[in-house]
Structure 1
Amino acid sequence: MTTIQIELPDATVKAAQAEGLLTSQTLTRLLSEELCRHQAAARLLKIADRLAEADVAPMSMDEIDAEVKAARAERQRRAAGH
């Protein structure tokens, strides 16, 4: 376990304390969630680079909408046990 010390504006500390955000458990969760977002963004950028290299044509909004609807329908079908 590592101990860290940071400097924050007093108003930020007071507001965070009032919300119960300055506990080790909460800060660990917040940092973990942020790390996951950064990792997801990095993966997305790698995919975008690979798509650009492959010269894949961008999808239209209608195509994207159709893909989203199909994915949702599949998820509902699986949830229903089919």
Structure 2
Amino acid sequence: MTTVQITLPDQLAQEAKQAGLLSEAALAKLLREQLQARRQDTFFTALERMEQTPEPSTMSPEDVADEIRTMRAERRARAAG
């Protein structure tokens, strides 16, 4: 278990204490909620970036076959060289 010491303005500390927010359980809950919210924000930011990334063009079966032939030829050339 880790002990954390924080400094708060007196008024805020009094209000938080009266609201029961300075208990170990309440602080742990608040921190967990904030961590979850940040993970969600990070996730949705990543989704937005993905949506903005253009889709690669679709390759025809002939294009795929050409790429495979090229790759195999390069491998054979490296193996022979």
Higher Cα Rg, which structure: 2
1:7 positional shift: 0.4
Given the two structures, how large is their TM-score scaled by the length of structure 2? 0.65
Query: 1:14 aligns to what?
Result: 14
Taking only the aligned residue pairs, the percentage that are identical comes to: 31
Query: 2:50 aligns to what?
Result: 50
- The one-letter code matched in structure 1 to 2:38 is H
Query: Secondary structure of 1:8's match?
Result: coil
Q: CA RMSD in A?
A: 1.0
Q: Which runs of 4+ in 1 moved over 4 A?
A: none
Provide the rounded CA distance (Å) in 2 between the counterparts of 1:50 and 1:11: 44
Q: Which runs of 5+ in 1 are unaligned?
A: 56-82
Provide the rounded CA distance (Å) in 1 between the counterparts of 2:6 and 2:54: 45
- The one-letter code matched in structure 2 to 1:34 is Q
- The one-letter code matched in structure 2 to 1:19 is A
Question: 2:34 matched to 1:39?
Answer: no
Given the two structures, how large is their TM-score scaled by the length of structure 1? 0.65
Provide the rounded CA distance (Å) in 1 between the counterparts of 2:40 and 2:21: 24
- The one-letter code matched in structure 1 to 2:44 is L
Deviations 1:26-71, CA, capped at 9 Å, x for gaps: 000000001000000000000000000036xxxxxxxxxxxxxxxx
Provide the rounded CA distance (Å) in 2 between the counterparts of 1:54 and 1:41: 22
Aligned length: 55
